[in-house]
Amino acid sequence: MTPAPAADPVVAAEPTAVADAAELFRALTGSAPAGVWSAPGRANLIGEHTDYNDGFVLPFAIQHRTAAAARLRADGRIRVASTFASEPVEVALDDLDALFPAAGSGTRTPGDTAPATVPEWAAYPLGIAWALRALIPAWAAATLPGVDIAIASDVPVGAGLSSSAAIEGAVASALNELWGLGLDPVTLAQAGRRAENEAVGAPTGIMDQMASMLGHADAAVFLDCRSLETRSIPLGFAEAGLEVLVIDTGVKHAHSTGGYGERRASCERGAAALGIAALRDATPADLPRAAELLDEVDFRRVRHVVTEDQRVLDTVAALAADGPRAIGDLLVASHASLRDDFEVSIPELDAAVEAALAHGAIGARMTGGGFGGAAIALVDHGSVERVSDAVRRAFADAGFAEPHLFTVTPSDGPRRDV
């Protein structure tokens, strides 16, 4: 018999995703998990589409989290379940290389979709297990015990808040401890990126995983995506009386499809034409030469990345010198560049930014990969309702579906909750 939820101390420890994951685990296995681990989603303050160009980003972990309840099993199999799916998925650990054969052989390319043999949601946790096993000797991987994992989340899906990295971080943290791997957070982030790129087929950079794994309260993660060096940057939002308002348009996006791969290819063509390893190596002074070498579309893609890298550096400097109220114009310039040069905004995101700015936001921009998702606005604490109401009116006037608005708080990275 499945124990009653009230009898499980997990419920008292966490009222949301952690409790939901523990409850699903009990329904799946008939007993309590050995532990529940969670990892946060992230919001990106500034630095969009710079990560896969070896550039700079400034994200922060948020209070919304994904939880993974897990326990070892003795039969060498991995079973994953999610509150977002009706049925669990189970495979042998030894079959993971066959499940992701192109990934294992190195022939898989970003943009390929997850294998048809498993639903896409399951490719994330299974991909993490595959990527972690690849980090240890084959003889050791062959002796790893099986595991049951139940996943629940309160990270909004499709809103540009990296629900995928939260899944990867929670599952990686659980497996790292249960399997006794002893891997550091950066290595776990790298495993998450490999799972997303090669097992799922989403051509993302490493920003999301690093932000989720290395987040701290009231701070952003300043990440050099080439060296993976990080620095915690105090934000001071609360002290300055500011809130980060997320405006989720409700328009869902998918990184493994659509124009994301096209943008990445355009950036690679730009770097090749300039004779550099990645657009990180270009500066605004190189843009006139880029304009001569590239067609109009590729040039605008390059201009966005080069100027966005500079905006990240300028934001870090402004936060240190003058505090968070000094960064509004940089956020606005980032959105204009994403809208006009990188062309990943949509009318709903533009309306959200314009309405927020017109009604008192210090700065606003779309966040995430684009083609849907969310915008963020930096707003005085006392103005959140006024700005929110203005955004809702703007959406209604334009005939858009009502957006979902909520504030996010810079928060800590992964933890074991139970």
- Residues serving a catalytic function are 208
Helices 120-133 and 185-194: angle between axes, nearest 10 degrees: 130
Dihedral angle sign, alpha carbons of residues 333, 338, 340, 345: negative
Sign of CA dihedral 197, 119, 185, 212: positive
What angle (nearest 5°) sits at the alpha carbon of residue 18, between those of residues 16 and 19? Answer: 70
Q: Is 41 in contact with 15 (CB distance < 8 Å)?
A: no
C-alpha dihedral, 361 to 300 to 284 to 338, nearest 10° = 20
For helices 347-358 and 328-340, the axis angle rounded to 10 degrees is 160
Name 268's bridge partners.
Answer: none
* Nearest CA-CA partner of 145 in 188, 92, 183: 92
Determine contact, residues 249/373, Cβ cutoff 8 Å: yes
| Lookup result for tokens 């995101």 | 349
Task: Let me know: does 39 contact 413? Beta carbons within 8 Å.
Answer: yes
Adjacency order of strands within the sheet including 374-380: 363-367, 374-380, 242-248, 404-408
* Angle at CA of residue 236, ends 234 and 242, nearest 5°: 145
| The one-letter amino acid at 71 | R
* The two structure tokens encoding residue 196: 């997303």
Name the 3-class secondary structure at 416: strand
CB atoms within 10 A of CB 89: 18
Question: Which DSSP letter does residue 277 get?
Answer: S
Judged on CB neighbours under 10 Å (0-12, 13-18, 19+), 321 is: exposed
Q: Please tell me the distance from the alpha carbon of residue 385 to that of residue 169, in angstroms, as a whole number.
A: 33
